[in-house]
Amino acid sequence: MRNRTFKMKIMPVFIGVLLTLAAGIESAAAQNLPPGAVDFEKRCYSCHNINGGDKKGPDLKGLLDRRSKEWLREFIQAPAAMNRKGDADANALFKKFAPEIMPDQPLAPEQIDGILSLIESLTKKGETFIPTGAKLSRAIEAGDIDAGREAFTGKVALNNGGASCIACHNINGVGRFGGGTLGPDLTAVNTKYKDPELISILQNPNFPTMKSVFGAKPLTDEEIVKLFAYFQSAKFANPAAQTQPAVAPLNLWFPAIGFLGLVLSFVTLNRIWKNRLRGVREDLVRSSKK
């Protein structure tokens, strides 16, 4: 009996100790985040993988085997200037990845070194960089897909005043005439990127054109959830787009309307000219009978 009360008393203490230990381990893990990971995720990951293949820019795996630290410090801060200056390696990179251009990255030298050591350690371990911070602020709920479509098309204005996505992007089924073509078609964007990658692009669109529009007018967390839900539904509604993400779907409405117009004008012309032609032909027939 006495033994039992003792157990009941000790139990909460025991659980408390376990929880404290777990929290301790977790915060240690957070502190163990390799140096540079936060910077890399925020500023580079939208264009660069480490050991995951080329994206907008080259895969940075093995970077320190092919470039010196001095070269890297200079290049990362001002890639375009290095290209203009005629640096052979920069010229080759710009040629290979054109028309993409890496924006200048105003980072302190320590930040760059942090990123470089992250790249070096992942390269050595043969690991791929996986972003940690990119999560939706809440679970997707009913209604988010429609709300996402409305945010995309501009039917509902974006909270911070950014331009609506449809001005520059198309998604299959978004409207009869599709969206703009300045930016890539986004029908298959959810297959092109893993979820955290896509979320991190929406949180922090580090592409020059998008940055100029959304840098000072970021999407809100709510808008990101809704747009993400809409992209996911576009993926499911267009399974064909998954297999050919690089090919923009044909918008058949313009050619179809053009073709109809052509047929109509033939019909009309035929009507107008029918009698004259018959007149000539009848004359010919009559004269040959003579």
Interacting residues with ligand HEC (CB under 6 A): 43-44, 46-48, 56-58, 60, 63, 67, 72, 75-76, 79, 93-94, 97, 100-103, 105, 107, 115, 162-163, 165, 167-169, 182-184, 186, 189, 192, 201-202, 206-207, 209-210, 213, 219, 227
Shortest Å distance, C-beta 207 to ligand HEC: 3
Instruction: Pick between residue 69 and residue 281 the one whose CB is nearest to ligand HEC.
Output: 69
Terminal-to-terminal C-alpha distance of the chain: 134
Instruction: Pick between residue 24 and residue 175 the one whose CB is nearest to ligand HEC.
Output: 175
Shortest Å distance, C-beta 141 to ligand HEC: 19
Instruction: Pick between residue 207 and residue 251 the one whose CB is nearest to ligand HEC.
Output: 207
Shortest Å distance, C-beta 212 to ligand HEC: 7
Take residue 147 and report the two structure tokens written for it: 């709300």
Shortest Å distance, C-beta 12 to ligand HEC: 48
Take residue 4 and report the two structure tokens written for it: 């039992």
Sign, CA torsion 91/93/99/101: negative
Shortest Å distance, C-beta 173 to ligand HEC: 16
Alpha-carbon separation of residue 198 from 136, 192, 246 (angstroms): 10, 9, 17
Alpha-carbon separation of residue 257 from 22, 60, 271 (angstroms): 65, 48, 21
Instruction: Pick between residue 98 and residue 250 the one whose CB is nearest to ligand HEC.
Output: 98
- Cβ burial, residue 211 (10 Å; 0-12/13-18/19+): middle
Instruction: Pick between residue 5 and residue 70 the one whose CB is nearest to ligand HEC.
Output: 70
Shortest Å distance, C-beta 69 to ligand HEC: 11
Does residue 26 contact residue 103 with C-beta atoms inside 8 Å?
A: no
Instruction: Pick between residue 104 and residue 127 the one whose CB is nearest to ligand HEC.
Output: 104
Instruction: Pick between residue 162 and residue 178 the one whose CB is nearest to ligand HEC.
Output: 162
Tell me the residue type at 153: T
- Spatial separation of the C-alpha atoms in residues 42 and 161, rounded to whole Å: 22
For 157-208, the DSSP string reads --TT-PPPGGGT---TTS-TT---SSSPP-TTHHHHS-HHHHHHHHHS--SH
Does residue 182 contact residue 168 with C-beta atoms inside 8 Å?
A: yes
- Spatial separation of the C-alpha atoms in residues 244 and 69, rounded to whole Å: 39
Shortest Å distance, C-beta 44 to ligand HEC: 3
